[in-house]
Structure 1
Amino acid sequence: MAVIVAAEDDADVADLLATTLSRAGHVVHLAANGPRALQMVAERHPDLVILDHGMPGMTGLDVARRLRADDATSRVPMMMLSAFTPDGARDVFDQVLHKPIPLRQVADVARDLLDSTRPRLVTGRPLTDPERLAAVSRLLAEPDPVDELSLALEIANIAEATRAQAAAIGLILDKALQTVASVGLPDLIVEAGGAPLEWTPCGVLAGTDRPMLLDDMITDPIFRDIPMVVFSGVRSYAAVPLHSPEGLVVAVLAVMAPEPGRFNAATVDLLRAAAPRVMKLVDRRR
């Protein structure tokens, strides 16, 4: 069994492709455009990426070039499945297939690519990794009121120090972000106790296990269409992962602002410095 991310903007083709690959024993995650494919790759750590070329937002070749340029994904085998082959595609993709093509043949080529896969450098773990989820589940207990107040004060101080409109600590589940403490978040998020993970950059942060600094999310091809930007008006974003004692990413400490360019490297350093204090309080939920 392998994990496959397939990007295809034709819903009918995508469904047929997912069905064929699933019947071959693989777990398939579908993306309707290039930016979403990049996000899924960061979150899911696939064993194979299949890309159409002519997609909205970014072409398949643009996505592949970004993946090749990142050490964490440079060795992931990639297949182009497209009616049009752009110049340079064969220099980036391990295999180029032309539509129309029997999907059984696509599954056969996928099998061959997976069989020849070399070890990859991965900095984080998939969101669905059982050990990571077990570490998160241990933190879902009700907090002590004193610890809850301490976290509320901590997050308020972080928001003030970074001049952020909003700040939050959230547990990263496989499909959702559960808020632990926050200030300045929209009422809808506060009342719900969190948000779907795809509404935020937190899934990518957890998958890569790296801090994030986004100067203007409106210009970012991966995140410009997520609800955090479209409905909440967030443009500047900075965040660091929070780790369990085993070193697994279980939570995020993030600050947000409606103006572009609000945060910088010093903001990330401040969040990194605060992370041990924050995680010590969160870890008392065990």
Structure 2
Amino acid sequence: MAVIVAAEDDADVAGLLATTLVRAGHVVHLAGTGPRALQMVAECHPDLVILDHGMPGMSGLDVGRRLRADGATAAVPMMMLSASAPAGAREVFDQVLNKPIPFRQIADVARDLLSSTGDRRLTAGRALTDPARLAAVARLLDEPDPVDELSLAMEIANLAEATGAPSAAVGLVLDTTLQNVASVGLPDLIVEAGGAPVEWTPCGVLAGTNRPLLFDDLSADPIFKDIPMVTFSAVRSYAAIPLHSPEGLVVAAMAVMDTAPRRFSGRTLDTLLAAAPRVMRLIDKRR
């Protein structure tokens, strides 16, 4: 038996979904809006969360991002069940199912997600202040070799060209600061300062969840629309991945950015992931 929070604003669909999951042996709590889903997760501590996307108050994708950004819920398995799943859903949810779909199949997917909960908790991200993570970052703070520094700058420039992005960067994620390691197209203020407060970017969420991030339009996102990356740098499209130490801890983030919306896709993340081993090898030489 598992505790499941399911958010669905269509009462008929919600009733059928709850009946199916209860018959499968689970305890189900229903929410009809995005904010209510967040409240119910905090109250019920579920083993699984199922979210529709188009809900009043807050979309399913926004709710999912909030849950992934919170250390208490980052590792909870999540499923999106929607007639129109948005871009970026697969980077947040463990499963994305498209309506209409047989409810029995939803119960089967829920069973599979619940059976993998233990593995997910082992691979979840750590808090920005986690001592082991910070120690891994600290080992990379030495001055780089000039040749390696040039090679890293070329890698980032090539990454920007390959993704068609005017800006690209890789930075070490400290507890309060994102330290710029190599970049192209960033504002002079950030380059000269050597980085930015971590809350100026989505990188804190990325490090905390240990998941790629993909945004069509940051200015439309309720969590990030007011951060300086948007208000000062006018970034709209954003794609980023975590970079890991040999121990598997998130030590850095690599991102591409554009002031135009909807510029990036899952293929952009694939390009970032392909470049990650080369970039991390150069960063790791700072040890």
Q: What TM-score do the two structures reach when normalised by structure 2?
A: 0.60
Runs of 4+ in 1 over 2 A off after TM superposition: 62-68, 70-75, 119-122
Report the AA paired with residue 166 of structure 1.
Answer: S
| Structure 1: distance between partners of 2:128 and 2:65 | 24
SS of corresponding position for 1:159: helix
CA contact 2:170–2:180 (8 Å) conserved in 1: yes
| Structure 2: distance between partners of 1:176 and 1:218 | 22
Equivalent residues, number: 187
Task: Note the 1:1-286 alignment, pairs <5 A.
Answer: 67=67, 72=74, 74=76, 121=121, 123-286=124-287
CA contact 2:200–2:228 (8 Å) conserved in 1: yes
SS of corresponding position for 2:229: helix
| Structure 2: distance between partners of 1:218 and 1:209 | 23
SS of corresponding position for 1:285: coil
Counterpart of 1:96? Answer: none
| Residue 74 of structure 1, CA deviation | 4.4
| Residue 267 of structure 1, CA deviation | 0.3
Report the AA paired with residue 67 of structure 1.
Answer: L
| Structure 1: distance between partners of 2:167 and 2:66 | 30
Is the alpha carbon distance of 1:221 and 1:187 closer, same or farther for their aligned partners in structure 2, counting shifts above 3 Å?
A: same
| Residue 165 of structure 1, CA deviation | 1.1
Is the alpha carbon distance of 1:233 and 1:246 closer, same or farther for their aligned partners in structure 2, counting shifts above 3 Å?
A: same
| Residue 72 of structure 1, CA deviation | 2.8
SS of corresponding position for 1:72: coil
Is the alpha carbon distance of 1:280 and 1:74 closer, same or farther for their aligned partners in structure 2, counting shifts above 3 Å?
A: closer
SS of corresponding position for 2:285: helix
RMSD of Structure 2 on Structure 1 (CA):
2.8
Report the AA paired with residue 258 of structure 1.
Answer: T
Deviation string 1:193-239 (CA, Å, 9 cap, x unpaired) is 00000000000000000011111001111111000000100000001
Counterpart of 2:104? Answer: none
| Residue 188 of structure 1, CA deviation | 0.4
Counterpart of 1:82? Answer: none
SS of corresponding position for 1:206: helix
SS of corresponding position for 1:253: strand
| Structure 1: distance between partners of 2:207 and 2:245 | 12
SS of corresponding position for 2:254: strand
Counterpart of 2:109? Answer: none
* Identity across matched positions, percent: 74
SS of corresponding position for 2:262: coil
| Structure 2: distance between partners of 1:63 and 1:275 | 29
| Structure 2: distance between partners of 1:65 and 1:137 | 28
Deviation string 1:104-157 (CA, Å, 9 cap, x unpaired) is xxxxxxxxxxxxxxx994711011010100000000000000000000111000
| Structure 2: distance between partners of 1:63 and 1:236 | 20
SS of corresponding position for 1:134: helix
| Residue 175 of structure 1, CA deviation | 0.4
Runs of 5+ consecutive residues of structure 1 not aligned to the other structure: 1-33, 39-56, 76-118
SS of corresponding position for 1:233: coil
Is the alpha carbon distance of 1:66 and 1:244 closer, same or farther for their aligned partners in structure 2, counting shifts above 3 Å?
A: closer
| Residue 67 of structure 1, CA deviation | 3.2
Is the alpha carbon distance of 1:178 and 1:151 closer, same or farther for their aligned partners in structure 2, counting shifts above 3 Å?
A: same
Q: What TM-score do the two structures reach when normalised by structure 1?
A: 0.61
SS of corresponding position for 1:207: helix
SS of corresponding position for 1:169: strand
Is the alpha carbon distance of 1:191 and 1:271 closer, same or farther for their aligned partners in structure 2, counting shifts above 3 Å?
A: same
